[in-house]
Amino acid sequence: MHPFEYLRPSTLADALQAGAAGGYLAGGMTLLPSMKLRLSNPARLVDLGAIGELAGLTVTPESVVIGAMTRHADVAASAELRRVLPALAELAGGIGDPLVRNRGTIGGSIANNDPSADYPGAVLALGATVVTDRREIPGERFFTGMFSTALAAGELITRVRFPYPERAAYEKFPSPASRYAMVGVFVADFGGRVRVAVTGAAACVFRWTEAEQALSRHFTAESLAGLAVDGAQYNQDLHGSAEYRASLLPVIARRAVARALARG
Amino acid sequence: MSTPISMNVNGRTVSMALDPRMLLVDFLRVGLHLTGTHVGCDTSQCGACVVHVDGRAVKSCTMLAVQAEGANVTTIEGLAPAGGLHPLQEAFNVCHGLQCGFCTPGMIMTAVDLLRRNPDPTEHEVREGLEGNICRCTGYQNIVKSILHAAAAMRASPTAA
């Protein structure tokens, strides 16, 4: 790791002032390994770990609001969330492993926008709103490409607001080694208006519009039969070819629909 | 460049100034000579370095020591009073839950957190709970058996832990 200046502010205001000239450290589950490999070399690191106001989960009649520093384990364990939006709690409970879930945060995950991360699928499929220190960014416009987002330099996610679908589910096929999604599919049915987000398959999370149209007509796994998948631009790595990911997509999507239906 | 820190490790307050680059696992092993916590992969995959920070099992190779400012840290050395064994340590002994022993401290620290959240896990839940811990001897059968054995013992005698 290259040397850096370390700051641990206890208020959001202090963090924003310090963060204007540095990088933020949330759970560190990606950033610290990247710094060890010297792929990331921030001159100043602003640790958000002591800012209590950034963590917590609030359920309101319209939406669930999750603070940026809320750990995956806490999202997964929330009895309230399991009642109002179980798909999101299940997604959080399947990220990495229990030790990673005890440190990793929702804000860190979506700000990093790893092509294989799970949370971006939920943000896009549910049409969540990413709230920062200076504005609200619709989920559709937040993820702009591989490891890139609409966040400006120094801009900090404070919370994410998820509306409630009538039913939803997330399914993924994790790499046996890394546990990252080779293909992950989040389906959300907003009363006949269905949104399908795909993570892991391509450089950035995306919506599968053909599947959305088919599922909006009939929300059944069979509706997805025969849909063409153009995997020409899909990820190709040691875990699998682009063709393999393209053939996984409809399988995982069917499982996600079946899981949403099984919830009743 | 050094940052002053203070934390509680195994019931003892430690305060010193550290290079902020120092990982928590290096601080424990090199700074405090608590070498029961191991470094296996150093890439947050194997779980040999698991310790508890404020009661939660975490990989100490993927945490800066300065991030533990003000925290209560427990390592394998602090799990039971001097001379005694935690029911999980006892169970790994009884059930032959280790072969080379390198992964054992991490397995036990992960298992303590698992049983705290779920005192009566199924075998499947134990295996899922060990997703972040790798045993290169592939001794998983007896590791799982040890954890189930400890869970039963701890339910029968809740004060023992």
pLDDT in tens, chain A (264 residues): 999 999 999 999 999 999 888 899 999 999 999 999 999 999 999 999 999 999 999 999 999 999 999 999 999 999 999 999 999 999 999 999 999 999 999 999 999 999 999 999 999 999 999 999 999 999 999 999 999 999 999 999 999 999 999 999 999 999 887 788 999 999 999 999 999 999 999 999 999 999 999 999 999 999 999 998 989 999 999 889 999 999 999 999 999 999 999 986
CATH of the domain spanning B3-78, picked from 1.25.40.10, 3.40.50.720, 1.10.260.40, 3.10.20.30? 3.10.20.30
Using a CB-CB cut-off of 8 Å, the residues of chain B touching A8 are: 66, 69
Q: Which domains does chain A have, with CATH numbers?
A: 5-163 (3.30.465.10), 168-262 (3.30.390.50)
Q: What letter would DSSP give residue B29? A: I
Whether A156 and A133 have beta carbons less than 8 Å apart is answered as yes
Contact B59 A100 (CB under 8 A): yes
Q: Which two tokens stand for residue B131?
A: 């997703």
- Inter-chain touch B132–A100, beta carbons under 8 Å: yes
ipTM of the complex: 0.96
Q: Which residues pair with B72 in a beta bridge?
A: B8
Residue B141 has pLDDT above 90, yes or no: yes
Chain A interface mutation, best of B7, B26, B62, highest count of A Cβ atoms under 10 Å: B62
Indicate the residue type of A18: A
Q: Is the pLDDT score of B161 beyond 70?
A: no
d(CA B91, CA B114): 15
Kindly determine whether residue B62 and residue A32, on different chains, have CB atoms separated by under 8 Å: yes
Domain map (residue ranges) of chain B: 3-78, 87-156
In terms of Cα–Cα distance, which of B98, B101, B24 is closest to B67? B24
* pLDDT at residue B42, rounded to an integer: 94
Please report which residue ranges of chain B form alpha helices under DSSP H: 24-26, 87-94, 104-117, 123-129, 140-156
The pTM score is: 0.96
Could you tell me the CA-to-CA distances from A185 to A121, A200, A264 in Å, in that order?
7, 9, 19
Phi, psi of A188 (to 5 degrees): -140, 125
The predicted structure's pLDDT at residue A178: 79
Burial class (CB in 10 A: 0-12, 13-18, 19+), A228: exposed
In the prediction, which pLDDT does A179 show?
A: 81
- CATH superfamily name and code, B87-156: [2Fe-2S]-binding domain (1.10.150.120)
* Same fold? B3-78, B87-156: no
How much is the pLDDT for B154? 96
**Average pLDDT, stretch B101-117?**
98
Whether B160 shows a pLDDT value over 60: the answer reads: no
CB contact (8 A) between residue B69 and residue A50: yes
Q: Count contacts between A and B (CB, < 8 Å).
A: 70
**Are residues B58 and A102, on separate chains, in Cβ contact within 8 Å?**
yes
Q: Does B155 touch chain A (CB under 8 A)?
A: no
